[in-house]
A = this chain, B = another copy of it.
């Protein structure tokens, strides 16, 4: 069976994520045990814990990679702030190809149903904004401008992500993000 993960990940880790997300969707996050996830993936609990520290990490394990790729679009050298923001947003969009949309949509739905997971997601976004602020500061941007640009990037990204995973949405992540950035620029003038 082709799971929610689609083609973008495979191996034991991918199978476990796929099994977990399917169970979270059908029987709830709190109502799912690691034993059930492992069994649904045809693997042992021991294998589960080789890949994930706990059940929650199935949904958040990619954080380091996420931050790395998110920041990878930032130009090496200082440019004008808008060029840097656009570079970061383009890098972020690369994380969300079409074949990831079903997984992202399912993950979003699981997180939306659980307050503790929402808080974890919020902290992840805050951590991302802080990493980006540091990266901008390291390129000579003053602290207040760096924080503003970083928070704005994350706001545009989050808003775009919410639209991208909405039912029936067909535009690519890049198309949505360009439209959201343009809308923000229009709002502020």
Contact = CB atoms under 8 A, between A and B. Distances in A.
Name A's interface SS: helix
Contacts of A81: 187
A156 B156 CA distance: 15
A95 interface: no
Interface in A161-189: 162-163, 180, 183-185, 187-189
A144 interface: yes
A184 B187 CA distance: 12
Contacts of A148: 155-156, 159, 180, 183-184, 187
Contacts of A162: 144, 147
Copies per assembly: 2
Interface residues of A, number: 27
Given A151-B159, A188-B152, A183 B122 contact: no
A88 interface: no
Contact of A144 (B151, B183, B189): B183
Contacts of A187: 81-82, 85, 145, 148-149, 152
A126 interface: yes
A149 to B, nearest CB: 6
Interface of A: 81-82, 85, 119, 122-123, 126, 144-145, 147-149, 151-152, 155-156, 158-159, 162-163, 180, 183-185, 187-189
